[in-house]
Amino acid sequence: MPTRILVIDDSPTLRKVVSSILQRNGYESVAAPDGQSGLDLLGEGGHFDLVLLDFVMPRMNGYQFCRAVRANEALRDVPIVLMSAKSDRIREQFVEQTAAIDAITKPFDAQALVTVIENALYRVEQAGGRLPVNDLLIQESPSMTLRVAASDVAVRASRVASDVSQKLARILAPKVTGAQRRDLSETHLAGLLAPSLTPDVLRELGRALADLPTADRAALVMWGDMSALPTGAVLQMLQVERQTGVLEMRRPPSISGEEEENPRAHGRPSQWRPVPGGSEVTITWRNGLVDFVQSRGAGDEFRLGRFLIEEGLLTPAEIDDLLRRRESDPPPRASRPPPSAGKPEPRPLLGDVLVQSGRVTEAQLREALSRQASELIYEVLRWKRGRFELRRQPPSPQAERARLGLSVGAVIMEGFRRVDEWRVVEVTLGSFESVLQRDPMAIEALGAGRLSRPERVVLDTIDGERTIREVVAASHMSSFDACRVLGQFLEARVVRRRVTA
């Protein structure tokens, strides 16, 4: 009887390719498009020797599938191999948590897949068919990975303090003689240290301090390093566990101006570059859904006004005028909260100003906030370095007002797709300092009426003088969407790079 393998992946192409590889190598394969369908097949009583499981899927993702399987006494020993474009980053964390027997990174070749399957089946045989299931996975209460004791936080803070102290001591040691070390005044130390605090040293200290936990230890639920636990895995976990709280994700300043996704990416538009002080994205969660996302230092393209401009609801000049008026005009008296002693009245939110002035409807504002939240999540999915902290704390007034209730599953899948597509777009565009010019004959042959609105917007910004970077900024579109259109134009010869003398 041939070995029977269940293939679970939302990509029809991958299911077909994997099934073909299995059949050529003597395995019997059955395919399912998502975790729920795969679970149904297992529950129907059919025997499977192995499950090949994608991690990011609709309806039921890989983590949810594993949790359901391991909670079922009849299924808990089914061996699982994870397949994911991010499996090289989730291997250490989720292979253990899901009791998966191995993981393979997509894309993979036929021989690599067969080797992983053979090794997995051999390990199952050697273990007598019993798997060391992680009990944390099958508990109905929130996963212990979401709990951090106050003592753990104290240890972390102590480690950071020790690290910073060692860095400072290493800087000062060559400048202090043995005799001086016995009698160093604060003034003398300050005089020695100040000239040594170069930009490179300050960046190094900043990276060390970025690991410092929040002062509110009681509210801290989860923290971690993005280089160890990928952003997509964190977001999926919070949704699966139906968590409520505020997730802060901080990325340190770039090193030597290089972007982290690809060394060539320093050519990307400025909106995609990390700012000198780093970037921060805050996500407010309610029962596993995203209510609000806001940012600091992520770039102008993530401001709310940009989404309204892109939809044609307002012009850049109108946004600037409204912002100036917001600074100078007090909020309507009916909307003012009771004043706090010694505190200035808060400025009215741009969204409130727009709705109260009749410039946008509540529905249009909500749509813009949802798009802003999604694109900020796309952005943090690209981060390979940084820290995250989930805290139990009340939502901000903006989050309480927005209450978007977004599910992150589809957003994460779209974000991963964008990360992959960016690599192709970068190759097509080359240097972002190139100047583009239109080809009138190619545009006439194409027919301007056949262009979509985003394509017309991008084409209108190309004047033979602007660089790619400037075209993207002038389009008031997301960098991803604008650059994708530019890549299509270049491939279709609708525009071309201007040749400089």
**Do residues 445 and 475 both lie within one domain?**
yes
Res 182: pLDDT: 56
Does 313 fall in a domain? Answer: yes
> Where in the sequence is the domain holding 43, given as residue range(s)?
4-138
d(CA 189, CA 191): 5
Does 335 fall in a domain? Answer: no
Q: Coil, strand, or helix at residue 144? A: helix
**Do residues 266 and 205 both lie within one domain?**
no
**Alpha carbon 423 to its chain's center:** 16
Does 345 fall in a domain? Answer: no
pLDDT tens figures, 31-45 = 999 889 999 999 886
Does 342 fall in a domain? Answer: no
Burial 471-487 (b: 16+ CB within 10 A, else e): bbbbbbbbbbbbbbbbb
Instruction: Provide the token pair at 213.
Output: 């936990």
Does 416 fall in a domain? Answer: no
* Contact criterion met (CB below 8 Å) for 80 and 63: no
Res 332: pLDDT: 52
Final residue of a structural domain among 165, 183, 213: 213
**Do residues 443 and 311 both lie within one domain?**
no
Does 422 fall in a domain? Answer: no
Res 39: pLDDT: 92
**Do residues 376 and 490 both lie within one domain?**
no
d(CA 139, CA 133): 12
Final residue of a structural domain among 82, 104, 138: 138
Residues facing residue 390 across a β-bridge: 222, 247
pTM for the full predicted model: 0.56
Token look-up 């993702």 returns 61
d(CA 400, CA 398): 5
Instruction: Pick the closest to residue 289 from 213, 358, 217, 235 (CA basis).
Output: 235
Q: Coil, strand, or helix at residue 472? A: helix
Does 425 fall in a domain? Answer: no
Q: Coil, strand, or helix at residue 111? A: helix
Residue 38: other Cβ atoms inside 10 A: 28
CB contact set of 261 (below 8 Å; sequence gap of 6+): 382, 384, 419, 422
**Do residues 280 and 152 both lie within one domain?**
no
Does 340 fall in a domain? Answer: no
Residue 343: other Cβ atoms inside 10 A: 7
Final residue of a structural domain among 86, 109, 138: 138
3-class DSSP string for 164-190: HHHHHHHHHHHHCCHHHHCCCCHHHHH
Task: Give helix then strand counts, H and E, for the chain.
Answer: 21, 12
Q: Which positions of the chain have pLDDT values less than 50?
A: 87-91, 133-155, 215, 217-218, 255-276, 334-336, 340-341
Enter the DSSP assignment of 437. Answer: E
Domains in the chain, number? 4
Instruction: Pick the closest to residue 113 from 123, 102, 100, 124 (CA basis).
Output: 102
**Do residues 207 and 234 both lie within one domain?**
no
Strand 50-54 and strand 289-296: the pairing is unpaired
d(CA 205, CA 165): 10
**Do residues 266 and 289 both lie within one domain?**
yes
